[in-house]
Amino acid sequence: MWRWVMAQGRTVADRLATVLGTVLGSDRLPVRLRGWDGSLSGPAGAPVVAVRDRRALRRLLWSPGQLGLGRAYVSGDIDIEDDVFDTFAALSSAGRLAETGPMRPLSGAERLALLRTVAGLGGLGRDPEPPAEEADLGGHGLRHSRRRDAAAIAHHYDVGNDFYELVLGPSMVYSCAVWDSPDTGLDAAQEAKLDLVCRKLGLTKGARLLDVGCGWGSMAIHAAGRYGATVVGITISEEQATLARKRVAEAGLTDKVEIRVQDYREVADGPFDAISSIGMAEHVGRARLGDYVDQLVALLRPGGRLLNHAIAWNAGETGWDEDTFIARYVFPDGELLPLGTMVGAIEAGGLEVVDVEALRRHYALTLRAWVRNLEEHWDDAVAASTEGRARVWRLYMAACALAFESGAMGVDQVLAVKPGGEQPPLRRTGWV
């Protein structure tokens, strides 16, 4: 009935509401729509989504789901006029977007209804080219080969160090912070996280640490500067390595920290007393998880500790889907695994898991702080990269914050020990 009434509407916004309802598979319009003619349709007081161009309709016709909506937003064909979190929360609460896992495809009847409405709005045409920010790794070999992993990492991380400095702030840490309270402040919360990792790993002066996926060197600098460790940091992002080396030199730690552009599978100069892997395991992939653990275990000395800090998918088992917004624009080839899968792989590799700490709520606070940084420095962020890139980061960080708040995603620190050496403290009070 709702769709029939909306179809009789005379304004552009009324008919756009029919399009959105069909795509979402919902009779409840979660947002207010503004058409390119200025007309409005939808519940009063709801967040406003503006459709700027008919090209948005073609994107939804050819990719009627999360990917089409994402492309329309990144390209500027649609925009949001109110709080980003309120808008995405409203959209994600309705229809297919409220379901876990990949969006259900439209039925034949729904596709026909969508086609008719789009035709009536003058939106028919060829599928528009995707925004330039969309990843295409098809020519880089098999998933999770070294060559393809390097291309996937470059897509996400080699978008400009200046851009990341605006989003992350002075800490330059691109992973979940640890907050004493929401008022802690991002930089202090990131320092607390780095310090927590060092304590869990039992770092002391002269200890040899391998930091896998070292980013811009923050963990390496903290471990060397505060604990006297000797650190090898590895990344496969050239831009990260360049800035990390600069920061190491500025900290006066070139004698203690080496930054390498190196795949974790290529490291051969163990043993290490400790290994930190913070926000890197998400790029490994389910099929390579056992090899990843085996490699790190081989690099640890007996009694050495591994700290694996990774995002987990809490909403049940899910397969990799290349047609999601995250896969196309943010983390191509990335895979989020349940905590149990990660713990099982670590134990299967021969390590003893001695502590697991869930930091889900902490990541929601971290992401909200990053979005605030991005929005406060929007013009500079666009100048440092592209408007499309800034839109990608705004959408993905806000959506992920909501996913952490809802419990669909989590993030966990798993501390494990290689048998054969000294034992960790009897209680976690030895490092908290």
Residue 99, pLDDT score: 72
Between the CA atoms of 315, 70, 363 and 308, what dihedral angle is there, to the nearest 10 degrees?
Answer: 70
198 is catalytic: no
Mean pLDDT confidence for 333-356: 94
Contact (CB, 8 A) for 121 and 55: no
Mean pLDDT confidence for 244-249: 98
pLDDT tens-digit profile of 272-330?
999 999 999 999 989 999 999 999 999 999 999 999 999 998 876 555 567 788 888 88
**Between 330 and 227, residue with greater pLDDT:** 227
Q: Is 279 left (phi over 0), alpha (psi -120 to 50) or beta?
A: left
Domain spans of the chain, in order of start: 2-120, 146-430
Residue 331, pLDDT score: 84
> Would you say the pTM of this structure is higher than 0.75?
yes
Contact (CB, 8 A) for 37 and 11: yes
Mean pLDDT confidence for 232-254: 97
Which listed residue (176, 198, 214, 400) is catalytic? Answer: 400
- CB half-sphere exposure, 347, CA atoms < 13 A: 10
Mean pLDDT confidence for 247-260: 98
Mean pLDDT confidence for 378-392: 96
d(CA 88, CA 56) in angstroms, rounded, equals 17
Q: Which CATH superfamily is domain 146-430 in?
A: Vaccinia Virus protein VP39 (3.40.50.150)
Q: CA 87, 91, 97 angle in degrees (round to 5)?
A: 150
pLDDT tens-digit profile of 214-225?
999 999 999 999
Residue 319, pLDDT score: 53
